[in-house]
Amino acid sequence: MTAGDRESDIGTAGAGKADPSGAARGGGFHSGGLIPLRHLFDDLAWVWLLAVAVLVVLTYREYGIIWDSEVQDEYGRKLLSFYLSGFQDRSAFEFQNLYLYGGAFDLTAALLNQISPLGEYETRHLLGGLVGVLGLLGAWRLARMLAGERAGFFAVVLLTLIPDYYGHMSINPKDVPFACGMTWTLHLACRTIGQLPNPRLETVLGLGVALGLTLGTRIGAILAGFYLVVILGLYLGLLWRAGASGIETVRAARRLLLIYLPALVVAYVVMGVCWPWAWQSPLNPLIALSVFSHFTWPNDVLAAGVVFKASDPPIWYLPLMLAVKLPEMVLVGLGLAVWFAGAWVVRWLGNRQHGFAVDDDGLRRLQFLMVTLAALFPIVYFLIFRPEVYNGIRHFLFVVPPLAVLAGVAFDRLWLAIDRGPRLLGRAALAGFSVAVVIQAWIMMELHPNQCIYYNALVGGVKGADGRFELDYWGTSVAQAAEELATYVKDENGGNPIDRTYKVLVCANPESAMYFLPKQFELTQTIADGDFFIGLTLSGCDKSVDGQQIIRVERFGAVLSVVKDRRDLKEQPVTIAKAPVQPSLTPPVPALVPPKSPR
């Protein structure tokens, strides 16, 4: 039985031993354990995943529309038209710069919208939320394979409670599907490593499908191939160190190439279906990769009170953003992971005979190395090359699942360490973790549906981050502002149907507001005509037009967007309020509509 088959533990991972059924089962404290039930953590994980899926179904309608939703939706329709027209409609290949991206999510959403009884964006939000749940499932399976069912449960709980992951699930049509695809690709690649020297064909083909779907979302999935090549190179090095001759090592390398070749073929085919532009020319994927390597975004970024060009980020940006955007409990788990990894390195240096070998334990360590590489390589790459950055950590969201997996494994290792101590200590640790989960869940409920604005206690939470970091850069709070405006006007009319037309000024993505307003509200860009004004506080949009503030959307004391009543000002000369207090995050544009956030 190989490491990838049994999903058991090695000493460095710190989970329970494999049982005859083939899955590692988390133990409890002391004899019999604090929680003696078998398979409990698997059952808890399934209950957790089901609860999250139900929550997605119950709340997907409550999320706003982000900047990119309109064009992504249109891109999906164009891709669908390409197939329905018998490959004649090629407009998708000339649509803005979106042809450089795969359309796995957008094409699926366009297909579903042909039959969905929901609204166009509601369908996309529901699909995105369920894709996010699929990513949670992948993280659970990955952690469980590495260190047993208890580690898997910890990992899925931690990932769910990361607001930047959960909050993007129902609104972000690129970064969450990409993170989900990378997680499953990583899981299946690790499984093939655990099955060496003879990975099963179904596992290899599954890897090809996962990689193809991920490449069909963003060409950056080529990183997963890089990780796998590095680990396979280490495996060949272990063979050579174990006594294989140079010729035997070369033969093993050739055999590995033949084994993984079906995955490459499947990945290319699946990628081509999701991203038909990619096979219009053999070099197109490389062209996309080259373009993204030199892609420029002319906007500014605000972090820690410092404004800088997105094309010239300071070296501290990504580490700082991860430190303040990840919940404290995840940071503790990552700190534990560093501690346990360091302790293992010290033991290994002191006793080399227990180092890497071509056995189940050695393969498991290679799996851990691959997950660690997936979590840390993009961060190290940023520190060295400092590529262009976007708002928050959304373009690095794909490193969050492997980070959660490593933190989950570390908490499992801590469980084992505490298991050897006093029972009271174990109960206190379990209670502390439970309290942290409850507190983090409460914070996310209070932020709902704007979980993406979360910042942890290192900067004083959302209130402390207000004015120093970007909060609602997606502009999703405008949806709530619009809905409250419709209610305000209806109440003003005695609860009767609105029987006149109102002109609305919007300093945000217009669709984010107008989609949630009744048809009696019409968009205008002429200030003198505006009856009402809806504006984000981001970039000082809320201060760009005068009026009586009647509504504000806020979370934990930080105002995200406002509504102003301008009807008493319509007959007066047009006045513009004082300049924004926050530095502009967007270049100057006409009227009141900032440009869309780049993809």
What is the residue-wise DSSP string for 129-194? HHHHHHHHHHHHHHHHHHH-HHHHHHHHHHHHT-HHHHHHHTT-TTHHHHHHHHHHHHHHHHHHHH
Statement to judge: residues 483 and 541 lie in one domain? yes
Distances (CA, A) of 175 to 136, 273, 448: 14, 20, 19
Statement to judge: residues 348 and 259 lie in one domain? yes
Statement to judge: residues 393 and 539 lie in one domain? no
Low-confidence residues of the chain, pLDDT below 70?
1-38, 352-356, 571-599
472 in any annotated domain: no
505 in any annotated domain: yes
C-alpha–C-alpha distance, residues 100 and 81, integer Å: 18
588 in any annotated domain: no
Residue 487, pLDDT score:
95
Statement to judge: residues 519 and 418 lie in one domain? no
Q: What are phi and psi of 37, to 5 degrees?
A: -65, 135
Statement to judge: residues 511 and 395 lie in one domain? no
C-alpha–C-alpha distance, residues 391 and 396, integer Å: 10
Statement to judge: residues 421 and 496 lie in one domain? no
Helices (H), 386-460: 400-419, 423-447
Statement to judge: residues 408 and 530 lie in one domain? no
Residue 371, pLDDT score:
98
Residue 499, pLDDT score:
82
b (16+ CB within 10 A) / e for 23-57: bbbbbbbeeebeeeeeebbbebbeebbeebbeebe
452 in any annotated domain: no
DSSP secondary structure letter of residue 359: S
Statement to judge: residues 350 and 261 lie in one domain? yes
β-strands 532-536, 548-555 pairing:
unpaired
143 in any annotated domain: yes
580 in any annotated domain: no
Q: What are phi and psi of 90, to 5 degrees?
A: -105, 20
Statement to judge: residues 442 and 512 lie in one domain? no
Cβ atoms of 520 and 532 closer than 8 Å: no
C-alpha–C-alpha distance, residues 430 and 22, integer Å: 27
Over the stretch 39-70, which tens digit does the pLDDT of each residue have? 899 999 999 999 999 999 999 999 999 988 99
pLDDT over 70 percentage in the chain: 88
Between helices 40-59 and 120-147, what is the axis angle to 10°? 170
| Sheet arrangement for strand 532-536 | 521-523, 502-507, 532-536, 558-565, 548-555
Statement to judge: residues 442 and 489 lie in one domain? no
C-alpha–C-alpha distance, residues 462 and 585, integer Å: 19
**Domain enclosing residue 481, as ranges:** 477-569
Last residue of a domain, one of 447, 463, 497: 447
Mean pLDDT (the chain, rounded): 88
Last residue of a domain, one of 431, 447, 463: 447
β-strands 521-523, 532-536 pairing:
unpaired
Nearest to 459 by CA among 467, 450, 448, 451: 467
β-strands 521-523, 502-507 pairing:
parallel
C-alpha–C-alpha distance, residues 393 and 157, integer Å: 20
459 in any annotated domain: no
Statement to judge: residues 292 and 397 lie in one domain? yes
Ramachandran bin of 10, using left for φ above 0, alpha for ψ from -120 to 50, beta for the remaining angles: beta
Task: Give the number of domains in the chain.
Answer: 2
581 in any annotated domain: no
Statement to judge: residues 434 and 493 lie in one domain? no
What is this structure's pTM?
A: 0.90
